[in-house]
Amino acid sequence: MNTCLLVIDAQESFRHRPYFAADRARPYLAAQNALIDGCVRSGVDIVRVLHSDGPEQADNPFARASGLVRPIDGLAGFEAAAEFVKSRHSALVGTGLDVWLIRHGVRRLIVSGIRTEQCCETTARHASDLGWEVDFVCDATLTFDMQQPDGSPLAADDIVRRTATVLKDRFVTLCSVDEALARAQRK
């Protein structure tokens, strides 16, 4: 089965947000880089997806004018088979990614990147609904603590667990880095 790794929104923009947590980014980058390195070694295509929206001005970290809509520092270098810039949560909305995947015969996606419960989860659900088989690698996704509507804190680890729970066996196969790489080798 033709597999492709999606590296979604792994971009420097996030370091410039008040919620960015370097202690969470370190293990994420280690897992993300292991996934990238494994795909490079085994010849699995890697697609880079970046996010740009909001006012196009230098003080908006998600504007191209900021210079921060680029790979996050510490991310392993790789030659992307394709690169797309999105302005919505799903990487499949308005980018042409779906057309590229179909043209390249991709049937399985490995989803990774930033933020677990936002762009990664949304892309995974959307891809599943469109018929792709989706492997979701929680360790190779990153999110941050949030505040619930009542003002109480919601820990990032709880967000990841919730995301895994709602996606598992409905939209995705949950995988470790090693499991995703092994599954990518199956024809």
- Per DSSP, helices labelled H in 7-49 are 22-42
Distance linking the first and last C-alpha atoms of the chain: 4
CA 94 to chain centre: 17
Domain housing 133: 3-184
How many distinct structural domains can be found in the chain? 1
Task: Quote the pTM value.
Answer: 0.97
Contacts 24+ apart (CB under 8 A), 22-27: 24/142, 24/143, 24/144, 24/156, 25/72, 25/74, 25/142, 27/139
Q: Residue 1 above 80 pLDDT?
A: no
Report the CATH number at residue 40: 3.40.50.850
Question: Torsion over CA of 86, 61, 177 and 153, rounded to 10 degrees?
Answer: -110
User: Is the Cβ–Cβ distance between 160 and 21 less than 8 Å?
Assistant: no
Work out the percent of the chain whose per-residue pLDDT is above 70.
99
Q: What is the mean pLDDT of residues 42-64?
A: 96
Instruction: Find, among 131, 141, 187, 180, the residue nearest to 164 by Cα.
Output: 141
Backbone angles phi, psi at 122, to 5 degrees: -60, -45
pLDDT one-digit tens code per residue, 102-151: 999 999 999 999 999 999 999 999 999 999 999 999 999 999 999 999 99
